Amino acid sequence: MRSSKIIEKIKNMSIEEKVGQLNQIQLEDTKQVRDEIRRGRVGSIILADTATAGNDKQKKINVDLLNELQRIALEESPTGIPLIFGRDVIHGHHIVMPIPLAEAASFNTELLENAYRAVAEEAASDGVHWTFSPMIDISRDPRWGRCIESFGEDPYLTSEMGKAAVCGFQSDDYKSTDSIAACAKHYLGYGAVEGGRDYGKTEISEYTMRNYYLKPFKAVVEENVATVMNSFSEISGQPVASSRYLLYDILKTELGFEGFIISDWASIAKLVNHRVAKDEKEAAMLAANAELDMDMVDRCYIEHLSELVEEGKVSEETIDKMVYRVLYIKDKFGLFENPYTEQKKVNFEKHIAIAKQFSDECMVLLKNNDILPIKHSKRIAVTGPFLHEKRSHLGSWAPDYDAGILKSIQEVFLECEDNDKIVFAELPYLWDDIIPTIRDVDTVVIVLGESAKLSGEDNCLTNIDLPREQLEFAKKIKLLGKKTVGVMCFGRPIALGEAELYFDAILYAWQSGTCAAQSIVDIIYGKVNPSGKLPMTFPRVTGQIPIYYNYPSYFGNGMAYYGDGSNYWDCKSTPMYPFGYGLSYTNFEYSQIRCENYILTLDELKNGETFKVSVIITNTGVRAGKETVQCYVSDRVASMTRPIKELKGFSKVFIEKKACKEIVFELGLEELGFYNRNGEFCVEAGEFDVFIGRDCMTDNKVKITVMNIK
Ligand code: BGC
Structure confidence by residue, pLDDT tens digits, 294-311: 999 999 999 999 999 999
Contact 143, 462 (CB under 8 A): yes
Candidate of 457, 459, 460 to mutate for ligand 1, largest count of ligand atoms within 8 Å of Cβ: 457
Rounded Cα–Cα distance for residues 667 and 424 (Å):
52
Q: Strand (E) positions, 29-69?
A: 44-46
The DSSP symbol for 209 reads I
Select which of 137, 141, 154, 264 is catalytic. Answer: 264
Could you tell me the strand order of the sheet in which 227-230 lies? 183-187, 227-230, 260-262
3-state class of 24 per DSSP? strand
Ligand 1 atom nearest to 135, measured from its CA: 9
**What is the chain's alpha carbon radius of gyration, rounded to the nearest angstrom?**
26
183 CA: nearest ligand 1 atom: 10
What is the pLDDT, as a whole number, of residue 402?
61
| Rounded distance from Cα 88 to ligand 1 centre (Å) | 7
- Residues whose CB falls within 8 Å of the CB of residue 253, separated by 6 or more in sequence, listed in order: none
Distances (CA, A) of 167 to 22, 118, 162: 26, 12, 9
H or E element in which residue 461 lies = none
Residue 495 confidence (pLDDT): 98
Number of other CB atoms surrounding residue 498 within 10 Å: 14
φ, ψ at 451 (rounded to 5°): -65, 150
Q: How far apart are CA 470 and CA 463, in angstroms?
A: 14
Q: What is the 232 CA–ligand 1 centroid distance (Å)?
A: 9
Going by the DSSP 8-state scheme, the letter that residue 81 receives in this structure is P
Q: Separation of 475 CA from ligand 1 center, angstroms?
A: 40
C-alpha 197 – ligand 1 centre gap (Å):
16
Q: How far is CA 5 from the centre of its chain?
A: 36
Please say if 420 is a catalytic residue: no
The pocket around ligand 1, CB under 6 angstroms, is made up of: 48, 53, 88, 132, 185, 264-265, 457
- How far is the centre of ligand 1, averaged over its atoms, from the C-alpha of 517 (Å)? 29
Closest of 252, 247, 253, 221 to residue 235, by C-alpha: 247
Please identify every stretch of the chain with a pLDDT value under 50, giving residue numbers as ranges. Answer: none
- Which residue in 564, 553, 660 sits closest to 615, CA to CA? 660
Nearest CA to ligand 1 atom 2: 264
In this structure, the residue with its CA closest to atom 5 of ligand 1 is 265
Alpha helices in 540-668 (DSSP H): 602-606
